[in-house]
């Protein structure tokens, strides 16, 4: 495992961090046995940063239980997050933090973040609840070691939030598909110039840079370096940049973990060749042409009152451009269950707007669902499907 220094605290962090949100699940709940195998294998292999959040239901508890059962808490750094959208008072902030400590079975959090601090108005709201005094008190008592924020908004807001407080670190979405999206490369460099370590989330865009990649990108990559997997292309691009301290990956199976560990062994700054850099440029153009809706599949927008499978709809829509309409329609059928009584397709949307308030990518979900409907629910497909459904209801 390669390590990089957190330039603010001096901590030595593994270049690969473990995003626990995507722990494996069985029947909708975290599978503790499988998650434990992953966490312990990661720790044994040198991963020392584990990221969770109050907003990931059951996730802090799963991580806390695994670490307590294996007496592993002291060997690693834990990151968790304060949900801004359910913090309406000083009491809420304190209650969320205490719950995190309790669920994680610990008496301190190494890296505590304000979750989705994507606009100055949110910071100003928290200031009104005395957040700065609260942080100072928690740091003094040792319950919070490093204080940072995660970000999913526009770049101008990132710069303002960055300047609004003496942060210890920052977590941004960043990958080769679009270097100017959200905080982007200028946000990365600005944070670094202020002496902050920068941690990266969505390095593979929720798996979109691995699964269903347009064939033209696969061709470019294979022609350049056939020994790199799509994941290696995604992670090596980030590790190549000296401003990047650590990259979070949401690993949920052992093969994926082992592959990432092998890549993290070799992670080096300034190691890409000119040919490899050129391949990223080509891939970026192709990807943005095919990747119409920038959904990462995080599912923050769910549940929907009409049970629309929003990320499933968007993933199938993007597939219909990257791999062809037939593949997209087929994937759509699997995601929204054409033949089941409880369909989860785009047409069910009643445009209530509830989902859009929670989307970190600021996607106009209602409008995008209309595009999905138009492209993936053509009449020639729906007439036979309606007949099948009618038949199945008898």
- Residue 313 is a binding residue for ligand SF4 (CB under 6 A): no
């239980």: which residue's tokens?
Answer: 65
Q: What are phi and psi of 82, to 5 degrees?
A: -90, 120
Span near ligand SF4 by CB under 6 A; candidates 35-43, 71-79, 101-109, 360-368: 360-368
State which residue, 32 or 304, has the beta carbon closest to ligand SF4.
304
Span near ligand SF4 by CB under 6 A; candidates 3-11, 74-82, 187-195, 355-363: 355-363
Three-state SS for 314? helix
What are the beta bridge partners of residue 5?
12
State which residue, 147 or 301, has the beta carbon closest to ligand SF4.
301
- Residue 244 is a binding residue for ligand SF4 (CB under 6 A): no
- H helix runs in the chain, sequence order: 32-44, 59-69, 90-104, 120-128, 131-141, 155-164, 184-193, 215-224, 230-239, 254-265, 274-290, 310-322, 325-336, 365-376, 379-392
- Residue 372 is a binding residue for ligand SF4 (CB under 6 A): no
Residue from 297, 333, 371, 382 in contact with ligand SF4 (CB under 6 A): 297
Q: What are phi and psi of 31, to 5 degrees?
A: -85, 100
Angstrom distance (rounded) from CA 173 to CA 182: 7
Q: How far is the CB of 231 from ligand SF4 (least distance, A)?
A: 20
Residue from 188, 363, 372, 376 in contact with ligand SF4 (CB under 6 A): 363
- Residue 290 is a binding residue for ligand SF4 (CB under 6 A): no
Residue from 205, 257, 310, 329 in contact with ligand SF4 (CB under 6 A): 310
- Residue 296 is a binding residue for ligand SF4 (CB under 6 A): yes
- Residue 83 is a binding residue for ligand SF4 (CB under 6 A): no
- Residue 305 is a binding residue for ligand SF4 (CB under 6 A): yes
Total residues at the site for ligand SF4 (CB under 6 A)? 28
Q: How far is the CB of 152 from ligand SF4 (least distance, A)?
A: 9
Are the CB atoms for 323 and 212 separated by under 8 Å? yes
Angstrom distances, CA of residue 77 to CA of 18, 26, 108, 385 = 10, 27, 10, 51
- Residue 306 is a binding residue for ligand SF4 (CB under 6 A): yes
DSSP letters, 46-101, are T--EEE--TTSTTHHHHHHHHHHHTT-GGGSEEEEEEEGGG--SHHHHHHHHHHHH
Q: Which residues bind ligand SF4 (CB under 6 A)?
A: 295-301, 304-306, 308, 310-311, 314, 349-355, 358-359, 361, 363, 365-366, 369
């Amino acid at each position: 495992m390669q390590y990089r220094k957190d330039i603010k605290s001096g901590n030595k962090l593994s270049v690969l961090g473990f995003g626990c949100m995507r722990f494996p699940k069985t029947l909708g709940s975290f599978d503790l046995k499988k998650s434990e195998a992953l966490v312990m294998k990661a720790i044994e292999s040198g991963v020392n940063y584990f990221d969770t959040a109050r907003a990931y239901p059951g996730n802090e508890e799963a991580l806390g239980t695994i670490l307590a059962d294996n007496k592993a808490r002291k060997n690693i750094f834990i990151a968790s997050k304060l949900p801004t959208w359910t913090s309406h008072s000083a009491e809420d902030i304190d209650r969320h933090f205490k719950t995190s400590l309790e669920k994680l079975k610990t008496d301190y959090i190494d890296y505590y973040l304000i979750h989705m601090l994507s606009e100055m108005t949110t910071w100003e709201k928290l200031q009104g609840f005395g957040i700065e005094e609260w942080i100072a008190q928690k740091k003094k008592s040792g319950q919070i070691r490093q204080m940072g924020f995660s970000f999913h908004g526009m770049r101008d807001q990132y710069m303002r939030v960055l300047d609004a407080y003496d942060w210890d670190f920052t977590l941004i979405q960043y990958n080769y598909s679009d270097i100017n999206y959200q905080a982007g490369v200028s946000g990365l460099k600005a944070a670094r110039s202020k002496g902050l370590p920068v941690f990266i989330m969505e390095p593979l865009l929720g798996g979109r840079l691995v699964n269903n990649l347009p064939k033209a990108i696969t061709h470019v990559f294979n022609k350049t370096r056939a020994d790199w997997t799509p994941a290696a292309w995604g992670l090596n691009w980030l590790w190549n940049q000296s401003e990047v301290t650590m990259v979070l990956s949401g690993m949920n199976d052992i093969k994926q973990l082992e592959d990432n560990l092998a890549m993290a062994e070799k992670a080096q700054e300034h190691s890409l060749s000119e040919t490899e850099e050129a391949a990223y440029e080509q891939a970026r153009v192709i990807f943005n042409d095919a990747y119409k809706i920038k959904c990462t599949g995080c599912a923050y927008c769910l549940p929907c009152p009409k049970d629309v499978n929003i990320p499933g709809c968007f993933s199938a829509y993007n597939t219909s451009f990257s791999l062809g309409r037939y593949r997209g329609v087929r994937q759509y059928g699997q995601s929204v269950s054409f033949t089941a009584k409880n369909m989860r397709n785009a047409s069910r949307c009643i445009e209530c707007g509830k989902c859009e308030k929670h989307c970190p990518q600021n996607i106009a979900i209602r409008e995008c669902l209309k595009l999905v409907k138009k492209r993936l629910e053509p009449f020639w497909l729906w007439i036979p499907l309606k007949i099948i459904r009618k038949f199945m209801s008898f």
